[in-house]
Structure 1
Amino acid sequence: MRRVLVWLAATLVAAPLLVSPAVAQAAPVAPSLVIASDFPDPDVVKFGGTYYAYSTNNGHGNVPVATASSLTGPWTRRPDAMPTLGAWADGGRTWAPDVTQRADGRYVLYYTAHSRATGRQCIGAALATSPLGPFSAVGTQPLVCNPGEGGDIDAASFTDSTGLRYLLYKDDGNAIGQPTSLWLHQVAADGVTLVGGRAELLRSDRAEEAGVIEAPVLTKVGGQYVLFYSLGGYGGDGYQTSYATSTSLTGPYTKAYRSLLTTASLDSTVRGPGGADIVREAGGDQIVFHGWINNYSARGMHVAALGWANGYPVVRGSRVRYEAERGTLNRCAARGAANTSQGQVVAYIDYADSWVEVTVFAPRAGAYTAHVAYAAGYGDAQHTLTVNGANPKVVTYPHTGWEVWRQVGVDVTLNAGFNKLRFTYLSRWAELDFVEVA
């Protein structure tokens, strides 16, 4: 994990505020549910002053579409953006659409549908003069269709800084019991003509993926490409959103150590977060994704603030873990400990000048919760917590017994960007494993 060393000098001007772990001191911001009905795999784009959102098919048509003047809504559903599919396609399984605009002003829709000829899901293209459609299919055949790899799904567009256009998608190996990969293929300026060969960006190879990686979305932050994708089975809490990074468009891409969005990282405020899209804006970036609602009967659309910690994504409302032993330590030390995060903790925080300082990142200024993982083996222990050298408060760690690890939540107010949380010895003894900030 990268650390940014910033010295923020401040003078403590008030006595520490006593904090009980059972009492909330602020109101951390969870993702907003902005479409509270079925709207899975959302693709969101802004044309002019209006946001357009497209989703996987449901009772609102082959390509459901909604509009709003703000990402947080209210959203208004519009008529089916593509009431007639391409001649190659059956209706009823039109998945994960993506809409982009080309230089001549026309709009390009990529959509997944069921191919009559192959019996597999394949990717088609369509054009319209309005982002609301109606979109008309291009040609009589799919744009991408490889039945030998199980078909192809989840198309997404990407345009680089030079104006070159690309199509991302997933081969549907899951349909034939094979591992899945995410692919990149250049397209011509018309958006519907493939150019050259394709490049494999990522392949399923981790246990938590359960053989499934899908829904690729690509963006570039500084000199780094960030590839977002979903993983795991979509049908419950196991569905997640993660990312991989590369300094080159075609890779190699390195997967994140932990997923970006999970049911657990969101403290169950969203269940099964996936199908994400990224909205890049001057006023602050946002991530849009679906999650289960109404007792797992539908997937609603959620929006959360997105920030970049040295080019790596951080989502407000989703926990990010910071290992205590990787912070700055004063008159204390790291030690190995079984059954802890990455096998190390900070111990010997036993003196008046013993402290642990962890640098954390906030996508926006405001209220957050710091979840501190600790063990206290000789009665209740206390540390004084300061944020950027100010606003001292006392954190109490209820007795657990040594090597028994629990978490205590502390509400903090953070600046946008990097912040320093310092935990200083106050009474008795506690060891620290990690701090998670949401």
Structure 2
Amino acid sequence: MRIRTAIVAAGAALCLALTTLPATPAFAAGTVAPQIQINRDFPDPDIVADGNTWHAYSTSAGGIGTVPHASAPSPTGPWTVVGDALDHKPAWARDNHGFWAPDVSRRPDGSWLMYFTARHDANGRMCLGAATAATPNGPFIPTSENTPLVCNAGEGGDIDPSSFVDSDGKRYLLYKNDGNAVSQPSILWLQEVDATGIGFIGGRTELLRNSAPSDQGVIEAPTLVKRPEGYVLFFSAGVYSQGTYHTSYARSATLRGSYGRAFRPLITTETVDGAVNGPGGQDVIGNRIWFHGHLAAGGRGMYTAEVGWFGGNPVVRGSRVRYEAERGTLNDCVVRATSSASQGEVVAKIDNPTSWVQNTVHVPTTGDYTLHIFYAAGFGDAEHALSINGGAPVTVSYPNRGWENWTEVAVDVRLNAGANTIRLTHQSRWAEIDHLEVA
């Protein structure tokens, strides 16, 4: 059975408790960016595991039939595109239009179910269909030739299906109504289904809609994960054809409850320092996330990165997470309000030998990371002593760039999986700290 697992980028939005870890070598050679797995057009990847074989499915691309299918011996590859997973287009689907964002999951009887999106030949809207197969290799055969599974033309049609099985064994279908096509709200819906995955139980529930400025009017590609702390709804937003497309998330204590968005998106072009352009169309299984990004040669390739979970929140390796310095533990220094800083506050008066600010950061796995410190110094170059998990300190230098001019310095560090303490102690002259970012 497909098992999804992931979390919410918490550093900017949550004040995290400190955890004491043993001192370890703390300074190393840099961060690890998301890694490309399929370096050709393979957008909206969906991943499943069957024994020791991993399978990926994508939106129609690269001239490979309707639903491109790839396989690999491990989640990090090597991936081989092996062909078309869908047996044929159902009669209701338009012949000259591709299939979008497939989703494959295992049913209780051991068979495999594929949800897909295709354009309805009669009404011209994108609609959801279903197909089944004995193995994840396919070929998947449509369950209906003449009728889509979901097709609400009045709300713009429906796209981006995704399966979810809760801890009680109940199955659900998630999808988006394509309001963007008809100037209506785009909403992520949850619909309970029976064991077959194609019989509906009760009505649908709205989970989230395109209401945030960062959405740029678009919200889509829902992926739902159950964590001990509650439910995490991953989604993509922004303009898919541009670098503004990104992956974000929202959390709820209950399945049908109110989902609160993370303060900042989880993966953007900027948070991965340009290593992936327009990261979105995500899928999450265990400690790994897959997503697509634009390729220089055209199309969207498949990438992957490690995910860690902390207090119900996800952290993706290689994607910056922000920690506000003023939300840490302070000693002999103060919080100062200023409109020029992130979230309007900074740590100031770190002026004495006993002055320090300490934050706890979280990473998914032990390894090399880059710590980005955002500071201001306006009365000569300044220095802090940086200590990781109580280890031997090193000097961080802050060139004089002027007060209120928040400037970034980067330090390569080695961090332990889980919580790590970052302490900055006064060493020479004067600097204020706005926030830290860890990638």
Bin the TM-score by the shorter chain. Answer: over 0.9
Query: Aligned pair 1:52/2:43, yes or no?
Result: no
Distance 2:394 2:294 in 1: 37
Distance 1:410 1:428 in 2: 20
The alpha carbon displacement at 1:300 in A equals: 0.5
Given the alignment, which residue of 59, 63, 81 partners 2:67? 63
Distance 2:218 2:430 in 1: 44
Identity of aligned residues (%): 54
- The 5 A counterparts of 1:239-318 are 239-280=245-286, 285-295=287-297, 297-318=298-319
Tell whether the 8 Å contact from 1:380 to 1:397 is kept in structure 2 after alignment.
yes
Tell whether the 8 Å contact from 2:18 to 2:359 is kept in structure 1 after alignment.
no
The alpha carbon displacement at 1:6 in A equals: 2.4
Alignment correspondent of 2:122: 117
Task: Give SS of 1:90's match.
Answer: coil
The alpha carbon displacement at 1:8 in A equals: 4.5
Alignment correspondent of 1:126: 131
Alignment correspondent of 1:20: none
The alpha carbon displacement at 1:72 in A equals: 1.4
Alignment correspondent of 2:89: 85
Amino acid at match of 1:359: T
Query: Aligned pair 1:108/2:110, yes or no?
Result: no
Distance 1:326 1:182 in 2: 33
- The 5 A counterparts of 1:5-404 are 5-8=18-21, 25-58=28-61, 59-91=63-95, 92-139=97-144, 140-280=146-286, 285-295=287-297, 297-404=298-405
Tell whether the 8 Å contact from 1:61 to 1:83 is kept in structure 2 after alignment.
no
Distance 1:3 1:135 in 2: 46
The alpha carbon displacement at 1:9 in A equals: 6.8
Amino acid at match of 2:288: Q
Amino acid at match of 2:188: L
Query: Aligned pair 1:2/2:15, yes or no?
Result: yes
Distance 2:218 2:354 in 1: 49
Distance 1:223 1:73 in 2: 31
Distance 2:254 2:120 in 1: 34
Task: String of CA shifts for 1:142-171, please: whole Å, max 9, x gaps.
Answer: 100000000000000000111110000000
Task: String of CA shifts for 1:280-319, please: whole Å, max 9, x gaps.
Answer: 1xxxx10000011125x11000010000121101000000
Judging changes above 3 Å, is the alpha-carbon distance between structure 1 residues 389 and 135 closer, same or farther for their aligned structure 2 residues?
A: same
Distance 2:16 2:229 in 1: 18
Task: String of CA shifts for 1:321-379, please: whole Å, max 9, x gaps.
Answer: 00000000000000011221000000000000100001000100011111000000011
Query: Aligned pair 1:408/2:409, yes or no?
Result: yes
Amino acid at match of 2:123: T
The alpha carbon displacement at 1:392 in A equals: 1.2
Task: Calculate the TM-score normalised by the size of structure 1.
Answer: 0.94
Task: Give SS of 2:154's match.
Answer: helix
Q: How many residues align?
A: 423
The alpha carbon displacement at 1:27 in A equals: 2.8
Tell whether the 8 Å contact from 2:229 to 2:311 is kept in structure 1 after alignment.
no
Aligned-residue CA RMSD in angstroms? 1.4
Distance 2:75 2:433 in 1: 39
Task: String of CA shifts for 1:256-279, please: whole Å, max 9, x gaps.
Answer: 110000000000001100000001
The alpha carbon displacement at 1:5 in A equals: 2.6
Judging changes above 3 Å, is the alpha-carbon distance between structure 1 residues 60 and 385 closer, same or farther for their aligned structure 2 residues?
A: same
Task: String of CA shifts for 1:229-270, please: whole Å, max 9, x gaps.
Answer: 000110011001000000110121001110000000000001
Distance 2:79 2:207 in 1: 34
Task: Give SS of 1:86's match.
Answer: coil
Task: Calculate the TM-score normalised by the size of structure 2.
Answer: 0.94
Amino acid at match of 1:32: Q
The alpha carbon displacement at 1:223 in A equals: 3.0
Tell whether the 8 Å contact from 1:170 to 1:215 is kept in structure 2 after alignment.
yes
Task: Looking at secondary structure, tell me which structure has more strand per residue.
Answer: 1
The alpha carbon displacement at 1:117 in A equals: 1.7
Distance 2:415 2:22 in 1: 16
The alpha carbon displacement at 1:83 in A equals: 3.9
Amino acid at match of 2:246: Q
Q: Which runs of no fewer than 5 residues in structure 2 stay unpaired? A: 1-13
Distance 2:109 2:180 in 1: 37
Tell whether the 8 Å contact from 1:277 to 1:288 is kept in structure 2 after alignment.
yes
Tell whether the 8 Å contact from 2:87 to 2:138 is kept in structure 1 after alignment.
no
The alpha carbon displacement at 1:388 in A equals: 0.4
